Structure 1
Amino acid sequence: ASPARLREDANTEEDHARGYYRDRVVVELAQNAADAAARAGVPGRLLLRLGRTDDGRLVLVAANTGAPLDEQGVASLASMRASSKRPDGGTAPDRGVVGRFGVGFAAVRAVADEVSVVSTSGGVRFSLRDATELLAEAAADVPALADEVRRRDGSLPALRLPFPADGSPPAGYDTAVVLELRDEVAADEVRGLLRAVGDPLLLALPALVEVVVEDLTSDDPPRRVADVGRRWTVASAQGELPLALLADRPVEERAARDWRVTWALPRTGEHPAARVVHAPTPTDEPST
């Protein structure tokens, strides 16, 4: 019922969907899969499948092994910068997880308005259509809210109102994120991101041991990316930063003191991977 809160939520979600996370949806889904595997202490396996529903809608399914969706996870998905990835009652993120600040999931809004997360424990969905209908009901009694909705011209937040969802992940997986892609433009963007999936993703996310990529809308054959240790020489080190070094950082960032550095070189010849720093996913910072 708050026009100011609506504007704040809408602007934040739009910033991430159209700005920093615009081309990171596959990477963010992989990162969530790696974190679920790390929390459960199991090898991380990820299936990325682009296909169509029986009525022709384009969908991207990202199914992973690992810790299933729980109440804290739902609250985290419906929040911005309030991640559930920390020990119960603590202030520090779980060891071994990558995502920390609760913003990466917003990347799904770059390509989808209807999003479901179904797990062995239950399911939740986010819907721009249903959120818009609820906003219209609320705006009938709050003129200022109605003005704000009109001003936004359809650019409204979808990740603040969780609805129950039916369904289950594919066999052999514990959770699936299902994105109903907005249009063919979004589908083309996703296809490009799927084709780019390769060894660097597994090197950057060591909790993942396998990624299977399937594009059922094209003639591209399925691909399995695994066993990167056979193709790369990898050296890693890890430790904990001194608290004093982070004394001037935000509260939750001060608690994220674990660090890990990995150096990877192809065992034979050249590899098409970009020679850049990954943190843990590709940046624009060159590395010789």
Structure 2
Amino acid sequence: MSPARHSSAVSTEPEEPILQGGAWLPHGFRLAPQSHLHGQLVYAAAGAPATATERGTWVAPANRVTWTPPRFAHSHRFHGRTDVRLVTVPLDLCGEFPQQPSVFAVSPLLREALLAMTDQPERRPGAHRRLPAVIVDELADTAETSLHLPEPADTAETSLHLPEPAGDRLRAATDLLHEDPARPTTLAELGRMAGAGERTPSRLFHTELSMSFHRWRTTLRIHLALAHLTGGMSVTETSLACGWSNPSSFIDAFTEVVGQTPGRYQATLRTAQK
């Protein structure tokens, strides 16, 4: 594989070109907020991309692909040296996908289809026009939810169903956790720091983010752990940097969310980099 392949700038104008192809991107590379007239799949043959939107962040570790619907504003950040592949999904096929960004597992057939569309010339005329149907069939399973970190709605949306002070307190609580995910703060302490009692943040995490405070913070820490592990940090160093008191509890939490141990995940990354 060559060290770089074709890539194009993204435009949101009506004449927007079909964006398809790939490139090697350095650790920490960011793509500014953007949207597309078509749907988009982002797959990393190596590395781990994170897609951020107003509804939260989705991370796609090894053997996952991220889906972003048409006209859905989003940005990307790439953890580790990333072999990223971008595939445009035609509008007539977008109805087969969820209406919000999602992460799907990548089967061996799906991986080969994504690689064929981004790294190989057509072997037969029209082959690349037929592959999207294969990709849709392979993505028929339900999207994974464990890798989604939801965020509080902005002020305009929050005001429709939440009193503004409550929405502000939830945003203040999540901002505090984002500033220092490893912070060993209890829910009661977080509530006081955000200007609320213990019950208010607990209720808001459940009603607005559809998960408990503990689950939300664990997911935030797993996102950070994926970035550290992809960047080459050891499992022990990652567990401490992300707020776990010992590697064993970190390994258990990581395995529950990602589906494999941190050590196995890093081994997969090393194989992909070869």
| TM-score w.r.t. length of structure 1 | 0.23
| TM-score w.r.t. length of structure 2 | 0.24
If each structure's helix is expressed as a fraction of its own residues, which one has the higher value? Answer: 2
Larger relative contact order, structure 1 or 2 (CA cutoff 8 Å, min sep 6): 1
If each structure's strand is expressed as a fraction of its own residues, which one has the higher value? Answer: 1
